[in-house]
């Protein structure tokens, strides 16, 4: 910092040559001139550094002591002033940029959101815009407590939210509300029924009374575990049935395999469009239309001017790349259709596939793929019942 102040004031390096150069140093001390880094070159020469404004006084003192002074180098000071005088618009532009950056830092030009999983970024941005936070908002006028209350009112899925201002960036931290667990009473009358026809393999009852045994065949809708518990000393008691019934189930799925499958071939052309976004206004550097090009894939890259974590400017450059692919046709692939059928079945059942087989045939010029599978899954499905239904035979 001290060296910077010397450069701004101007620092000169001079040589003092004479019979007694030490006398010049003594006179400088008496005159209040500060000499820095005084070194002896030889018995009759000294080299030192002094402020540019003290050069004339040092010259007069050297003449009184019958010594001569030679200027070695000059840094800063008048050289900087001459440079800026010749380039006045450069200094004005630098000052204007600094003031513009300072003024721009009082407005929000970029919003970053952390912590959202179920609530989308678009919903949070809309709630922020409704609360008065958006591109170009004057953040010193925002009240954090009021903003938090409005956000929680607009988005009840959030447990808490906070907005931190980092220069011209708004960092939004959210925490989503935990889902409310299912509330039920243990004394309500519920039974477990079969969601699919099958053969029972394992019965695990946590609450209630089992009506089926392993090896027994059951039909869809049949009661597996009842919530009625008989008592030898009193009336019957009703509870909420809970448990797991694993059973073998069978499925048959059939799909039509398309005769040909279209896919994107090699690239046939690339086009680029450029635009600039100032605040919320978009300036296109291409034709008058912003219509999407037919048959092209669009890839967009945004380049925000600023320093990550420090500040952002209300300028954003957009590069849109349009790539056109030639269409291609591929022959029907029964293997791919078999994999899709198997994947679909795994998503539908609540268990695992133990056996499967595939059959291919043609019908009316179309190729069909059929899958037969045996699965082991939990077929117990809870169902609300009444005491009259549980009591009836």
- Give 140-166 pLDDT, tens digit per residue: 888 888 888 888 888 888 888 888 887
Judge whether 94 lies within some domain: no
Between the CA of residue 42 and those of 9, 13, 18, 59, 290, what are the distances in Å?
29, 17, 11, 20, 78
Query: Is residue 64 domain-shared with residue 15, that is, in the same domain?
Result: yes
Is residue 67 a part of any domain in this protein? Answer: yes
Residue 205 CA to residue 202 CA, distance in Å, equals 10
* Mean pLDDT (whole number) for 99-127: 84
At residue 1 the predicted structure's pLDDT band, cuts being 50, 70 and 90, is low
With vertex at residue 317, the alpha carbon angle to CA 314 and CA 321, rounded to the nearest 5 degrees, is: 155
Closest CA to 211 of 234, 247, 185, 245: 245
Residue 197: pLDDT band with limits 50, 70, 90: very high
Q: Classify residue 350: in a domain, yes or no.
A: no
The per-residue pLDDT for 245 is 92
Reported confidence tier of residue 330, pLDDT bands at 50, 70, 90: low
Phi-psi region of 376 (alpha: psi -120 to 50; beta: other; left: phi over 0): beta
> Which residues, in sequence order, are bridge partners of residue 163?
172
249 and 387 housed in the same domain: yes
pLDDT of residue 244: 92
**210 vs 362: CA distance, rounded Å:** 47
Tell me, yes or no, whether 336 lies in a domain: no
pLDDT tens-digit map of 220-258? 989 898 888 877 777 778 888 889 999 999 999 988 877
Same domain, 293 and 247: no
The pLDDT, as a whole number, for residue 328 is 64
Return the CATH number at 138: 3.10.20.310
7 and 76 co-located in one domain: yes
Residue 21 scores a pLDDT above 60: yes
- The span from the CA of 335 to the CA of 328, in Å, is 19
Would residue 236 count as lying in a domain? yes
168 shares its domain with 234:
no
**Segments forming the whole domain that contains residue 299:** 261-330
Do 212 and 171 reside in the same domain of the chain? no
Q: Tokens 């499958």 — which residue?
A: 261
User: Where does a domain end: 330, 346, 368?
Assistant: 330
**Greater confidence, 135 or 185?**
135
Residues 249, 265, single domain; the answer is no
pLDDT bracket for residue 4 (50, 70, 90):
low
Query: Do 265 and 313 belong together in one domain?
Result: yes
Q: How far is the C-alpha of 142 from the C-alpha of 163, rounded, in Å?
A: 10
Q: Are 340 and 253 in contact (CB under 8 A)?
A: no
Cα separation, 370 vs 253, whole angstroms: 6
Q: What is the average pLDDT score of the chain? A: 81
Which residues, 6+ apart, have CB-to-CB distance to 43 below 8 Å? Answer: none
**CATH number of the domain enclosing 28:** 3.30.70.260
Q: Give yes or no: residues 245 and 269 share one domain.
A: no
Percent of the chain scored above 90 by pLDDT? 10
> Domain ends where: 65, 80, 95?
80
Domain count, the chain: 4
What pLDDT was estimated at residue 246? Answer: 93
In a shared domain, residues 116 and 148: yes
Task: Please indicate whether residue 102 or residue 127 has the higher confidence score (pLDDT).
Answer: 127
Give the chain's count of helices (H) and strands (E).
9, 22
Residues 117, 70 share a domain:
no
Would 353 be classed as within a structural domain?
no
Element (H, E) at 38: strand 36-42
Q: Is residue 47 part of a domain?
A: yes
Quote the longest CA-to-CA distance of the chain.
Answer: 133
| Alpha carbon of residue 71 to chain centroid | 60
Pairing relation of β-strands 281-284 and 260-278? Answer: antiparallel
User: Which pLDDT does position 219 carry in this prediction?
Assistant: 92
In a domain, 93, yes or no: no
pLDDT digits (tens, 9 = 90+) for 72-111: 888 776 666 666 666 677 777 778 878 877 787 788 888 8
Tokens found for residue 15: 């040589």
Domain end (from 80, 101, 119): 80
């Amino acid at each position: 910092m001290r060296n910077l102040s010397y450069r701004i004031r101007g620092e000169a390096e001079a040589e003092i040559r004479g019979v007694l150069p030490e006398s010049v140093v003594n006179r400088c001390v008496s005159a209040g001139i500060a000499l820095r880094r005084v070194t002896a070159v030889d018995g009759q020469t000294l080299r030192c550094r002094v402020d540019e404004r003290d050069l004339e006084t040092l010259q007069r003192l050297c003449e009184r002591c019958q010594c001569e002074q030679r200027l070695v180098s000059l840094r800063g000071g008048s050289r900087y002033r001459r440079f800026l005088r010749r380039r006045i618009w450069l200094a004005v532009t630098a000052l204007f940029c600094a003031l513009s950056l300072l003024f721009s830092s009082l407005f929000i030009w970029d919003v970053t959101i952390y912590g959202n999983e179920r609530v989308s970024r678009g919903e949070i941005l809309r709630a922020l815009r409704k609360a008065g936070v958006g591109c170009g908002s004057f953040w010193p006028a925002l009240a954090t407590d009021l903003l938090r209350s409005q956000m929680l009112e607009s988005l009840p899925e959030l447990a808490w939210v906070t907005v931190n201002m980092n220069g011209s960036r708004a960092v939004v931290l959210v925490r989503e509300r935990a889902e409310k667990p299912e509330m039920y009473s243990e004394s309500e009358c519920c039974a477990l029924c079969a969601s699919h026809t099958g053969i029972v393999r394992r019965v695990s009852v946590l609450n209630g009374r089992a009506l089926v045994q392993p090896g027994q065949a059951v039909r869809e809708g049949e009661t597996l575990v009842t919530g009625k518990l008989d008592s030898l000393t009193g009336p019957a008691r009703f509870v909420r049935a809970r448990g797991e019934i694993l059973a073998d189930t069978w499925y048959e799925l059939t799909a039509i395999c398309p005769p040909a499958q279209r896919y994107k071939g090699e690239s046939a052309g690339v086009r680029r469009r450029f635009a600039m976004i100032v605040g919320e206004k978009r300036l296109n550097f291409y034709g008058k239309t912003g219509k999407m090009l037919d048959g092209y894939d669009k890839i967009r890259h945004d380049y925000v001017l600023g320093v990550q974590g420090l500040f952002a400017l209300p300028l954003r450059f957009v590069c849109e790349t349009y790539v056109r692919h030639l269409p291609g046709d591929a022959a029907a692939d029964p293997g791919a259709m078999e994999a899709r059928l198997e994947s679909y079945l795994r998503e539908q059942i609540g268990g695992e596939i133990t056996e499967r087989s595939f059959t291919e045939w043609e019908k009316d010029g179309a190729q069909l793929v059929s899958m037969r599978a045996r699965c082991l899954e939990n077929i117990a499905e809870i169902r609300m019942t009444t005491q009259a239904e549980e009591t009836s035979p």
